[in-house]
Amino acid sequence: MFEFSYTFRLVMIATAMIGAISGILGVFLTLSKKSLVSDALSHSALPGVVLAFIITKEASGLVFMFGAFVASVFALILIDFIKKYSPIKNDTSLALILSSFFGFGQVLLSLIRDTAGSNQARLNAFIFGQAATINQTDVFVLYGILFIVILVIVVFYRPMKLYVFDPVFYQSLGYQKKLAEVLINFLLILVVISGIQMVGVILMSALLIAPAIAARLLSNQFKNNLVLAMMIGILSAVIGTFLGQRLPTGPVIVVITSSVALMMLLFSKNGLVREIYIDFRFKKQIKVYLPLILFYETNEYSHPFVLACPTYLKQGYVIKRNDDYVVSKEGVRLIDSLMGGVS
């Protein structure tokens, strides 16, 4: 039986808000090719959370969020520094920061395992995701973060949109490149630190990227992407919260939103299944009409063309003129479409 207790309602509100803001921001991240940054920052938050606990001896959500915020900002500064002053490529620097910060966090966790006492459970719940530990204060914090994210996107919508689609044109209009980068990174850090408690540091990036991928496969319109990603994020969060009464909420939410993205990847208008079918049909048409194409190009009666000519005549792609065969207008259109790669 599903129970609609006070705690359940709090968790549902919180996960729905995280799903909404993750979906919206994920669109900006995927279009600006910053998907890996979200993964790096979510993993980099781990040592910040543990250090905040070591310093304050408090196991509260606000303390953990502050520690995660500081660690994420520091990781972002390091990533920019490495990218600016090192020959190391961006994806390599992201992998370096992700692994080193996460490894350092694991070391810190092992050091305090025997001294954390009853706070260890609360610490683990925040780091690895346990939505049931959310309280009313956490929900109010999420309200504030949601308000900030929406406010920033509304106020800076045009420059952020220009930046993710065409950074060169964005700068030619007089906008500073750093402005859009700082805004997107700031929002990313806010969303990451607020969502960790729901899904954990390992799975947070999936909650950001999967709804955006699904939305992108459903529509090529930017505004539609924002709305669709938000709705997919909310729907996945709500369904995951229902199912999470008997299963871990965070992983269930991630599985659902990833499944939606996978379904869109396979069966959407631009999905793999359709592309495979189009490719198969195109290759089949090329095989059938290759003699016609060669005849049109060389005007030579090859043996395959002679065998296929009665079929081409019935289809109207070839007409007989005097004692010769000539490719008809319909045949020329077919050849042009096949040679252009359009079936």
**One domain, residues 236 and 281:** no
What range does the domain containing 291 cover?
A: 277-339
What b/e readout covers 73-90, taking b as 16+ CB neighbours within 10 angstroms? bebbebbeebeeeeeeee
Q: How confident is the model at residue 273, as a pLDDT?
A: 92
Dist CA 146 CA 54 (whole Å):
29
**In this predicted model, what pLDDT tens digit does every residue of 4-52 receive, in sequence order?**
777 778 888 888 888 998 999 999 999 988 888 888 888 898 899 889 8
Question: Contact 52/168 with Cβ under 8 angstroms?
Answer: no
Q: How confident is the model at residue 144, as a pLDDT?
A: 86
Dist CA 197 CA 11 (whole Å):
11
Q: How many domains does the chain have?
A: 2
**One domain, residues 15 and 63:** yes
CA–chain centroid gap for 305, Å, is 49
| Averaged pLDDT, 138-152 | 85
Of the candidates 195, 58, 71, which has an alpha carbon nearest to the alpha carbon of residue 138? 195
User: What is the length of the chain?
Assistant: 343
**In this predicted model, what pLDDT tens digit does every residue of 295-321 receive, in sequence order?**
999 988 888 898 898 999 999 999 988
Dist CA 262 CA 253 (whole Å):
14
**One domain, residues 100 and 193:** yes
Q: How confident is the model at residue 280, as a pLDDT?
A: 92
3-state secondary structure of 317: coil
| Averaged pLDDT, 140-159 | 87
Band (343; pLDDT cuts 50, 70, 90): very low
**One domain, residues 112 and 186:** yes
Dist CA 200 CA 205 (whole Å):
10
Band (242; pLDDT cuts 50, 70, 90): confident
Share of the chain above pLDDT 90, in %: 28
Question: Contact 63/126 with Cβ under 8 angstroms?
Answer: no
On the question of pLDDT at 119 being above 90, the answer is no
Q: How confident is the model at residue 116, as a pLDDT?
A: 62
**In this predicted model, what pLDDT tens digit does every residue of 157-181 receive, in sequence order?**
888 899 888 888 888 888 887 888 8
3-state secondary structure of 321: strand
Band (2; pLDDT cuts 50, 70, 90): low
Question: Contact 96/78 with Cβ under 8 angstroms?
Answer: no
Q: Which of 253, 270, 287 is the last residue of a domain?
A: 270
Dist CA 130 CA 123 (whole Å):
10
| Averaged pLDDT, 128-154 | 81
Q: How confident is the model at residue 226, as a pLDDT?
A: 93
Q: How confident is the model at residue 27, as a pLDDT?
A: 92
Q: How confident is the model at residue 90, as a pLDDT?
A: 80
**One domain, residues 79 and 121:** yes
Residue 291 domain-assigned (yes or no): yes
Residue 1 domain-assigned (yes or no): no
**One domain, residues 140 and 226:** yes
On the question of pLDDT at 231 being above 60, the answer is yes
**One domain, residues 114 and 149:** yes
Helix or strand holding residue 273 (H, E) = helix 272-298
Dist CA 324 CA 304 (whole Å):
16
Question: Contact 243/252 with Cβ under 8 angstroms?
Answer: yes
Structure tokens that stand for 32 in this block: 């600006």
**One domain, residues 291 and 176:** no
Q: Which of 219, 237, 270 is the last residue of a domain?
A: 270
Q: How confident is the model at residue 86, as a pLDDT?
A: 84
Dist CA 164 CA 149 (whole Å):
17
Higher-confidence residue of 24 and 243: namely: 24
Structure tokens that stand for 246 in this block: 């008997």
